[in-house]
Structure 1
Amino acid sequence: MLKRSKSMYAYYLVWPALLIYSAFFVVPAIIGFYYSFTDWRLDRDTITYIGWDNFKRIFSDETLLLAMKNTLIFAIVTVIGKNVLAIALAVALNMRLKTRNFLRAIFYSPSILSVLVISIVFTPMLRTEGMINRMFETIGLGSFSQAWLTDPSIVIWTVAAVSIWQHTGFQMAIYLAGLQSISKEYYEAATIDGAGSWKSFIHITLPLLLPAININLMLTLIGGLKVFSEVFVLTGGGPGNASQVVGTIILRAFGEGSWGLGTAINTLLFIIVTIISIPLLIFMRRKEVAE
């Protein structure tokens, strides 16, 4: 009896957290899934089951399709940009530089700033007459000047670049932690065998950094698919609907009182995130074990 009581001790500790998680996530998710199949609106007293009508509307609305396209572009660009730059910064700042601690703090600091602060800083800089275009003109690269926040063809890429600038330092910190856990003996053995810096990076650093890569890929992918704040504060989804993402469309749907439609879009986003992230997580875990 005493042994059974001890074996159940861990479950007793988990139950409170599990109950809170269920109350604030699982139950609302189930209720939201049901309401996504209804015509739930602010201006109606009754709620009617309408089947797949909300989802059919999503895939027939050009603005909603554009928002999904922009969300995927943002996610892909930020996943690649954040991780590639973060690994490069982590490797550079893992070297014996006198100023490495200062530089680490400098590169990490944007990630602790509010998105609102970032928008206040970048919005004037990205205007047509802003500092970035003036800098290009000063150094003779005026052809690179763009309407960064008002050109429909590049606005989502601009928002992605701002997000990369802000959050790369956070990913860098995770990669630094991974690098510092790698024994220097591996590199010493590789040097003795005649391997250069690039071969050591490919055959030692990257394989042993897979746990950190796995974490960062999942964080940046899920964050990219759930993007909202950056677009909302920098462009509000404009110009027109050119930078709309799924998050801003959900806000607009709820703001217009179309709660059933907004819940359907949110449910679709949850399904997309799950379909993309779980197979990627399984694949990365297998690679991690294999290495």
Structure 2
Amino acid sequence: MKRAKSMYGYYLVWPALFIYSLFFVLPALIGLYYSFTDWRLDRDTISFNGWDNFKTIFSDETLLLAMKNTLIFAVVTVLGKNILGIALAVALNMRLKTRNFLRAIFYAPSILSVLVISIIFTPMLRSEGMVNRMFEAIGLGSLSQAWLTDPAIVIFTIAAVSIWQHVGFQMAIYLAGLQSISKEYYEAATIDGAGAWKSFTNITLPLLLPAININLMLTLIGGLKVFSEVYVLTGGGPGNASQVVGTIVLRSFGEGSWGLGTAFNTLLFLIVTLISIPLLIFMRRKEVTE
């Protein structure tokens, strides 16, 4: 009887675990196998080719550029979404009459699809678009850029659009964390003569670590898996200047190089795992020590 009760939780988990294994773990393992093959659309047979696909990835300039762009996008969006998210959360946690309205305004873009965002921003970011016209109107015409056609800045432009869209979601998580912090800590700090900055660094940030941990993981994994923003805004252009791992995988499958595309997907999985797990362990330890 006791054994049956102890197994009750497993009975509830097994159906979900079976579905997860069937639709995620099994395809991932099959994909890992095919990443070491010459699987192509124009071939009837599939042969094991060892590390050839990975050698191709690290010897092709376009593929290396896609990896570089993916890392740049991830770093910029992680910093932008989290720094701005904390700033907005702190500001909108104050006793402002319009704070609920402002919270809704900042959060609203995160529920829109990337297609809608692209329809909004593509004409705005053209050379003759609203952004450049606004700079010219306020006397800052020197800041005008070819935002989506300049290879040097296009990946940063896409990252900025992603930050604009999703920062409200990070703000909401930080707001939840801020509202769980007791006001007594701040009152005690004020009595001890601590200013706003000291209260923020010594009280707010340490107690906000669980929310920071969640947001760092979400933004990092989302940044490394970027696809929709690049595909819709530029399609990887101009040329290959904004290609990322996701768009290269799509192109590889479209060209029939299924083994190569699967290898790139496997490499992306390894990168996400090798970066996110150590970061998660580090942040968890920081939570405990704080």
So what's the TM-score if we normalise by structure 2? 1.00
The CA deviation string for residues 151-184 of structure 1, in whole angstroms up to 9 with x for no partner, is 0000000000000000000000000000000000
Gap regions ≥5 residues in structure 2: none
- The reply on whether 1:166 has 2:165 as its aligned counterpart is yes
The CA deviation string for residues 103-148 of structure 1, in whole angstroms up to 9 with x for no partner, is 0000000000000000000000000000000000011100000000
User: What secondary structure, in the 3-state scheme, does the structure 2 residue paired with 1:96 have?
Assistant: coil
Structure 2 residue aligned with 1:31: 30
Structure 2 residue aligned with 1:79: 78
Gap regions ≥5 residues in structure 1: none
Structure 2 residue aligned with 1:142: 141
User: What secondary structure, in the 3-state scheme, does the structure 1 residue paired with 2:59 have?
Assistant: coil
* Mapping of residues 1-291 of structure 1, within 5 Å: 2-291=1-290
- Measure how far apart 1:44 and its partner are: 1.1
CA distance in 1, matches of 2:29, 2:110: 33
CA distance in 1, matches of 2:2, 2:90: 49
The CA deviation string for residues 46-99 of structure 1, in whole angstroms up to 9 with x for no partner, is 100000000000000000000000000000000000000000000000001110
Once the two structures are aligned, what percentage of the paired residues are identical? 88
CA distance in 1, matches of 2:5, 2:179: 37
CA distance in 2, matches of 1:10, 1:44: 48
CA distance in 2, matches of 1:45, 1:219: 41
The letter for the 2-side match of 1:81 is: G
- Measure how far apart 1:25 and its partner are: 0.5
The letter for the 1-side match of 2:127 is: T
The letter for the 1-side match of 2:220 is: L
The CA deviation string for residues 12-38 of structure 1, in whole angstroms up to 9 with x for no partner, is 000000000000010000000000000
The letter for the 2-side match of 1:106 is: I
The letter for the 1-side match of 2:29 is: I
CA distance in 2, matches of 1:43, 1:288: 53
Moved over 6 A (4+): none
CA distance in 2, matches of 1:20, 1:43: 33
- Measure how far apart 1:149 and its partner are: 0.2
CA distance in 1, matches of 2:271, 2:151: 25
User: What secondary structure, in the 3-state scheme, does the structure 1 residue paired with 2:19 have?
Assistant: helix
The letter for the 2-side match of 1:31 is: I
The letter for the 1-side match of 2:10 is: Y
User: What secondary structure, in the 3-state scheme, does the structure 1 residue paired with 2:117 have?
Assistant: helix
CA distance in 2, matches of 1:26, 1:218: 21
CA distance in 2, matches of 1:164, 1:34: 36
The letter for the 2-side match of 1:92 is: A
User: What secondary structure, in the 3-state scheme, does the structure 2 residue paired with 1:94 have?
Assistant: coil
- Measure how far apart 1:42 and its partner are: 1.1
User: What secondary structure, in the 3-state scheme, does the structure 2 residue paired with 1:14 have?
Assistant: helix
CA distance in 1, matches of 2:138, 2:176: 38
User: What secondary structure, in the 3-state scheme, does the structure 2 residue paired with 1:59 have?
Assistant: helix
